[in-house]
Structure 1
Amino acid sequence: MTRQQPLDTLIDLAREARDCAGQVLASERRDQQQVATQLETLGRYRLEYAQRLQEAMFSGIDPATMHNYQAFLRSLDTALERARKALDEQQQRVASSQQHWQQQQRTLSSYDTLAARRAEQANRREQRREMRHNDEMAANALLRQRERDATHHSGA
């Protein structure tokens, strides 16, 4: 049993590392969804504002108002570009976190496989020990039976 204790400790540590990596991955995915939602909202807002500009131009618009619309659209375009970049970066963090989680899972699986092999070997050893014990008991019983039969036949 003492040989399995270090392996059990490694399994526990690997499970904790895998679970921690899973929590980080879940957090990164939530952040990715939030950034994607912000990007989508910003894109809709930009589209609506561009439509308002089109309507204003159709109705007639003074140059100062036109300039304000265009400046605001440029600022929205800049914000959209930043949001796209943030989403790309977040997607990279998610991919990295997923790779880290997968590595932790592989490590845990390796330790679990080792533990299963050890348990199987211990089980086989125990079965062989029991078989030897049963064989010895059967041999002793047979020997006693022969001795009784020999004593019974010689005394008869």
Structure 2
Amino acid sequence: MSRTSALDTLIELTREAVDNAGRHLAGARRSQQQAQAQLDTLLHYRQEYSQRLQQAMQEGMEPASLLNYQAFLGSLDDAIDRARQSLHAQVQQVGQRQQHWLEQQRKLNSYHTLIERRAQAAQLQDNRSQQRLTDELSAQLRLRGNAFTSSSGSSR
């Protein structure tokens, strides 16, 4: 009985670990989506700003304005690099969180498999015991039947 309760405790703890790992994985995925959205926004903004620069250069512009555009584009490029690094870190974290969740899920599945095997072994043992009992009863009935047949045949 203590094995079953200890196994039940392990299963409950592992279920909690699976749930916890799932929550962390979901949070990491949300963070990855946010990082991707931020990078996409920065890339889109850089493209628009670059197009504005091209248009302004075709129309003619002051050298100071050109320097301002270039400085701003440089700042955007730096922000894009940081956003890419952040996204890369989030992708790695999602992978780690997913691996942890899978490990916990495998552990839980192995406990369930152990319970199933124990139940099957107990059922097999029970079936064997019932078969032995049935065999013993059949043997006793045959002996009684033979004894009855012998005694009734000899009295005639």
Question: Would you call these one fold, judging by a TM-score over 0.5?
Answer: yes
**What is the match of residue 153 of structure 1?**
153
**1:3-152 alignment runs, 5 A limit:** 3-152=3-152
Task: After TM superposition, give the deviation of residue 140 of structure 1 in Å.
Answer: 1.9
Amino acid corresponding to residue 19 of structure 1 in structure 2: D
Q: Deviations over 1:100-150 (max 9, x none)?
A: 112112211221222122112111111111111111111122222223223
Q: Deviations over 1:54-86 (max 9, x none)?
A: 110110111222222122112111111111111
- 2:9 and 2:127 map into 1 onto residues whose CA distance is 27
Q: Deviations over 1:3-42 (max 9, x none)?
A: 3221122122212212221221122112111211210111
Shifted more, 26-35 versus 41-50: the winner is 26-35
- 2:51 and 2:114 map into 1 onto residues whose CA distance is 64
Q: Secondary structure at the residue paired with 2:22?
A: helix
Amino acid corresponding to residue 8 of structure 2 in structure 1: D
Number of matched pairs: 156
Could you list the runs of 4 or more consecutive aligned residues of structure 1 that deviate by over 4 angstroms after TM superposition? none
Structure 2, gaps ≥5 residues long = none
- 1:42 and 1:96 map into 2 onto residues whose CA distance is 27
- 2:130 and 2:26 map into 1 onto residues whose CA distance is 49
- 2:24 and 2:141 map into 1 onto residues whose CA distance is 64
Structure 1, gaps ≥5 residues long = none
Q: Secondary structure at the residue paired with 2:20?
A: helix
- 2:58 and 2:45 map into 1 onto residues whose CA distance is 20
Amino acid corresponding to residue 122 of structure 2 in structure 1: A
Aligned CA RMSD, in angstroms, stands at: 1.5
* Percent identical residues: 51
